[in-house]
């Protein structure tokens, strides 16, 4: 299995902001090596930093090349991202398939992305081993540069064991005793307001209220919060 992370190659990128956003997308999923081929506005670009939103290490390490051939010279697996073949006969893979191949094979790999407006030229695609195409709405096949990068980076990252962001621990449901206290609290306040009137409908209304309050599986903190709200509503209004 390959031990190398794939490199992201941006061919003739036009806007510094898009380079920065691509760097941000890369670092979100553990990719750090960016290569730029003849960026239109030169490099470094002052507009890239703010758009990277903290992914400065990616931008600081970005290398610039005159041609795509030089940028991928050390790579054995090169994937040209494009929505169409542009007259070049090559295998066509999805981001998921490309990620599996990269993890399974030795050698350096590269995802190659074209300019924002025109995409990769036929000569660029000819350098690639395969064409990477995202299944997309045929009536609107427009992805911006950072979106395309993040799709590829995400699929690659799924097989690296990146940990999920920390999720707040869920509290267990409140015990029945606490729910009974909440229901009783509701009933006392509602009784005082003649909610359970007329009498023939009182039992059905109480049953509906019980079902309503037991359905959400409130936890202990939520029940306490609800009781505090009811206590506040049941008090006389105080002048501030």
Per-residue pLDDT tens digits for 17-36: 999 999 999 999 999 999 99
List Cβ neighbours of 167 (8 Å cut-off, separation of 6 or more). none
Q: Which residue has the higher pLDDT, 13 or 170?
A: 13
Q: How far apart are CA 208 and CA 211, in angstroms?
A: 5
**76 in the Ramachandran plot: left (φ > 0), alpha (ψ -120 to 50) or beta?**
alpha
pLDDT digit string (tens) for 161-202? Answer: 776 665 556 778 888 999 999 999 999 988 888 888 888 888
Q: How far apart are CA 92 and CA 81, in angstroms?
A: 10
Q: How far apart are CA 13 and CA 128, in angstroms?
A: 18
The Cβ of residue 165 has, within 10 Å, a number of other Cβ atoms equal to: 5
Q: For the chain, give the percent of residues with pLDDT over 70.
A: 91
Q: Tell me, what's the pLDDT at 93?
A: 94
Q: Are 120 and 12 in contact (CB under 8 A)?
A: no
Q: Are 115 and 127 in contact (CB under 8 A)?
A: no
SS3 call for 8: strand
pLDDT band of residue 88 (cuts 50, 70, 90) is low
Homologous superfamily of the 7-157 domain (CATH): SPOUT methyltransferase, trefoil knot domain (3.40.1280.10)
Q: Tell me, what's the pLDDT at 168?
A: 59
Q: Tell me, what's the pLDDT at 33?
A: 97
Q: Are 47 and 77 in contact (CB under 8 A)?
A: no
Q: How far apart are CA 74 and CA 120, in angstroms?
A: 20
Q: Which residue has the higher pLDDT, 206 or 65?
A: 65
Q: Tell me, what's the pLDDT at 191?
A: 87
pLDDT band of residue 87 (cuts 50, 70, 90) is low
Q: Do strands 75-81 and 63-65 pair parallel, antiparallel, or not at all (unpaired)?
A: unpaired
The angle, 0 to 180 degrees and rounded to 10, between the axes of the packed helices 176-192 and 202-214 is 140
Report the sign of the C-alpha dihedral through residues 151, 77, 115, 125, in that order. Answer: negative
Q: Tell me, what's the pLDDT at 89?
A: 80
Question: Does the pLDDT of residue 240 top 60, yes or no?
Answer: no
Per-residue pLDDT averaged across 139-154, rounded? 89
Q: How far apart are CA 231 and CA 185, in angstroms?
A: 8
pLDDT digit string (tens) for 104-143? Answer: 988 899 999 999 888 899 899 999 999 999 888 878 877 8
Q: Tell me, what's the pLDDT at 1?
A: 45
SS3 content of the chain, % helix, strand, coil (to 5): 45, 15, 45
**Residue ranges of domains in the chain:** 7-157, 176-234
Q: Which residue has the higher pLDDT, 219 or 81?
A: 81
Q: Tell me, what's the pLDDT at 147?
A: 92
Best CA proximity match to 151, nearest among 200, 209, 84, 83:
83
């Amino acid at each position: 299995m390959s031990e190398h992370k794939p490199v992201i190659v941006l061919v003739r990128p036009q806007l510094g902001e898009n380079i920065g956003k691509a760097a941000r997308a890369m670092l979100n999923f553990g990719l750090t090596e960016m290569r730029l081929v003849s960026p239109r506005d030169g490099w470094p670009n002052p507009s890239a930093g703010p758009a990277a939103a903290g992914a400065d290490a990616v931008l600081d390490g970005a290398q610039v090349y005159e041609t795509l051939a030089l940028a991928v010279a050390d790579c054995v697996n090169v994937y040209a991202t494009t929505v169409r073949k542009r007259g070049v006969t090559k295998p066509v893979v999805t981001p998921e398939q490309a990620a599996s191949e990269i993890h399974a094979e030795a050698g350096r790999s590269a995802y190659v992305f074209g300019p924002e407006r025109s995409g990769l030229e036929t000569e660029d695609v000819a350098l690639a081993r395969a064409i990477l195409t995202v299944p997309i709405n045929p009536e609107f096949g427009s992805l911006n540069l950072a979106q395309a990068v993040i799709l590829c980076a995400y699929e690659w990252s799924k097989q690296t064991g990146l940990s999920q962001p920390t999720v707040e621990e869920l509290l267990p449901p409140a015990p029945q005793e606490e729910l009974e206290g909440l229901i009783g609290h509701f009933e006392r306040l509602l009784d005082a307001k003649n909610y359970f009137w007329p009498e023939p409908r009182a039992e059905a209304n109480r049953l509906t209220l019980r079902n309503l309050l037991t359905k959400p599986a409130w936890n202990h903190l939520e029940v306490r919060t609800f009781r505090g709200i009811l206590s506040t509503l049941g008090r006389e209004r105080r002048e501030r």
